[in-house]
């Protein structure tokens, strides 16, 4: 039960740090978190663990925070700013992939001890790199569009959970399908692929639902210098 208990603590800390970043740095903190989480979740996914009787990869909690953050940006600053955050995350992911692949090309020195470790972490197959990029842009962009559509139908503050969970659960379903389809094409049988797809999505969905109260908490934060900007962005 260690992984299950520690995993819950890990999830709560991830979402708690989102609130702390937002409280301390405002909208800028949310944009920084998008880039930070995009990089970190793609590093964490390398490690696999056993949890609730199934094998899963880390990164789901951090990835879930990126959806919550774009929903908070959409809620408070408008769709245009949320789209900007998505493109920021995509650029960060592409830049990290390109730079670290170039780092691996350098010939290590005679006393170097890190080349093999770096290759294990960043020596991703092109197939997985493409899968990650495709899943990110399609799912995050879909999340922004669905959230905006749901806000028109469910505009009340008390209905934020519908906007947040509705957009996230649908977009993460798309994310999981795109990533597993491209990343594992020709690697696993259809039966194994389906198991990975289902278990991964269930974990993402549960983590996203846990993050809903943190979204409500973020909505209560007040920043005097942002009041006018929020109203202008919502009108766009």
CB 167 within 8 A of CB 143: yes
Distances (CA, A) of 135 to 28, 30, 83: 25, 21, 15
Q: What would the mean pLDDT of 172-188 be, rounded to a whole number?
A: 86
pLDDT computed for residue 52 by the predictor: 84
pLDDT computed for residue 123 by the predictor: 78
d(CA 129, CA 43): 12
- Residue 232 scores a pLDDT above 80: no
Q: What would the mean pLDDT of 55-73 be, rounded to a whole number?
A: 90
Please state, as a whole number, how many other Cβ atoms lie within 10 Å of the Cβ of residue 91: 12
As a whole number, the mean pLDDT across the chain is 88
pLDDT digits (tens, 9 = 90+) for 140-175: 999 999 999 999 999 998 899 999 999 999 999 999
Q: What would the mean pLDDT of 83-91 be, rounded to a whole number?
A: 93
d(CA 168, CA 136): 13
pLDDT computed for residue 1 by the predictor: 85
Buried/exposed 128-161: b ≥16 CB within 10 Å, e otherwise? bbebbbbbbbbbbbbbbbbbbebbeeeeeeeebe
The pLDDT confidence band at residue 229, using thresholds 50, 70 and 90, is: low
The pLDDT confidence band at residue 57, using thresholds 50, 70 and 90, is: confident
**Domains of the chain and CATH, by start:** 2-102+112-235 (1.10.1760)
pLDDT computed for residue 145 by the predictor: 93
Q: What would the mean pLDDT of 189-211 be, rounded to a whole number?
A: 87
pLDDT digits (tens, 9 = 90+) for 114-126: 998 888 888 766 6
pTM summary value:
0.86
Question: Bigger pLDDT: 180 or 14?
Answer: 14
pLDDT computed for residue 143 by the predictor: 93
Name the burial class of residue 117, with classes exposed (0-12), middle (13-18) and buried (19+) by CB atoms within 10 angstroms of its CB: exposed
- Residue 169: both structure tokens together: 């659960």
pLDDT computed for residue 193 by the predictor: 84
pLDDT computed for residue 86 by the predictor: 93
pLDDT computed for residue 130 by the predictor: 83
pLDDT computed for residue 165 by the predictor: 92
DSSP structure string for 193-232: HHHHHHHHHHHHHHHHHHTHHHHHHHHT---GGGHHHHHH
d(CA 166, CA 232): 25
């Amino acid at each position: 039960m260690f992984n299950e208990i520690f995993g819950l603590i890990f999830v709560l800390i991830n979402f708690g740090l989102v609130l702390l970043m937002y409280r301390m740095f405002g909208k800028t903190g949310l944009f920084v978190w998008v880039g930070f989480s995009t990089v970190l979740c793609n590093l964490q996914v390398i490690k696999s663990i056993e949890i609730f009787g199934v094998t899963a990869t880390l990164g789901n909690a951090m990835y879930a925070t990126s959806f919550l953050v774009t929903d908070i940006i959409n809620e408070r600053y408008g769709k245009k700013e949320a789209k900007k955050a998505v493109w920021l995350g995509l650029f960060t992911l592409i830049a990290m992939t390109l730079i670290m692949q170039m780092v691996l090309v350098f010939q290590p020195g005679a006393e170097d001890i890190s080349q093999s470790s770096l290759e294990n972490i960043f020596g991703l197959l092109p197939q997985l790199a493409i899968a990650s990029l495709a899943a990110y842009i399609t799912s995050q962009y879909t999340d922004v569009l669905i959230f905006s559509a749901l806000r028109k139908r469910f505009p009340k503050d008390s209905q934020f959970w519908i906007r947040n969970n509705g957009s996230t659960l649908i977009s993460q379903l798309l994310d999981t399908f795109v990533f597993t389809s491209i990343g594992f094409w020709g690697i696993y049988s259809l039966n194994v692929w389906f198991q990975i797809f289902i278990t991964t999505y269930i974990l993402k969905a549960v983590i996203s639902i846990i993050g809903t109260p943190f979204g409500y908490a973020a909505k209560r934060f007040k920043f005097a210098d942002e009041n006018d900007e929020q109203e202008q962005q919502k009108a766009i």
